[in-house]
Amino acid sequence: MPESHCTVERDMLPTIAEPINWTEQLDRHRPWMLKVLRSRVGDAHAADDLLQDVALAVWKQASRPVDENKVPAWLYRLTVRQAINHHRRNGRKSPVTIPHEQLDAAATTQSPLDWLLEREQRQNVQQALAKLSPRDRELLTLKYTEHWTYDQLSQFMGVKVKTIEYRLLKAKRRLRRLVVQGF
């Protein structure tokens, strides 16, 4: 009988979670963190440098999450904080435009007029996106270029799904208004 009593007590003890492998977490979340940084900073090279700063900040943090489900939201806040610090140090720079390689690739399959109109439309959208707040730009980028779900966005940004739906609605309206008005 004492044996079973010990077994029950052992079963009732809380299980200790395995420590989080931060190198693996950084590798797993690197693509979206880089997109957030590029969206906020507007310079691909600076975003790459800032991603390294984020990794260093992860290792320097005294209190990191122990629950793996909370890691994405925590990394998002850390990533945004690094972008904000970058702006404070360097001032605002113009956001990156669509690379010429992407624009020129369509030229081989379209008529010159269609290619020119599409290029102009993309430039107008890029310029309108540049006028949006970094948060709106990130939301639109992650939702419509990375095809994230509302659940994924809410988890990574640490807010409710309804908040994401509302923010996306407002961001789309602002973007539409900017494109129609010609900024």
CATH number (domain holding residue 172): 1.10.10.10
In a domain, 8, yes or no: no
Q: Which of 27-36, 84-93, 146-155 has the lowest mean pLDDT?
A: 84-93
**What total of structural domains would you count in the chain?**
2
109 and 85 in one domain?
no
List, for residues 29-87, the tens digit of each pLDDT value: 898 888 888 888 878 888 899 999 999 999 888 888 888 888 888 888 889 889 888 88
Instruction: Classify residue 151: in a domain, yes or no.
Output: yes
Is position 72 within any domain?
A: yes
| Degrees to nearest 5, angle at CA 57 with 52 and 58 | 100
Per-residue pLDDT at 13 = 47
Q: What is the pLDDT of residue 92?
A: 55
How many Å apart are CA 162 and CA 143, to the nearest integer?
15
Contact partners, residue 175, CB within 8 Å, separation at least 6:
125, 128, 129, 132, 136, 140
Predicted pLDDT of residue 96: 47
> Is residue 46 domain-shared with residue 76, that is, in the same domain?
yes
Which one has a higher pLDDT value, 66 or 116? 66
CATH number of the domain within which 69 lies: 1.10.1740
Give a yes or no: residue 76 inside a domain. yes
Domain boundary among the residues 90, 123, 145 is at 90
Q: Are residues 75 and 111 in the same domain?
A: no
The whole-model pTM stands at 0.54
Average pLDDT, the chain: 80
* Pair 121, 166 in one domain: yes
User: Residue 171, Cβ neighbours under 10 Å: how many?
Assistant: 20
Range of the domain at 152: 104-181
Give the Å distances, CA to CA, from 85 to 21, 41, 71, 81, 135: 26, 10, 21, 6, 15
The reply to whether 141 falls in a domain is yes
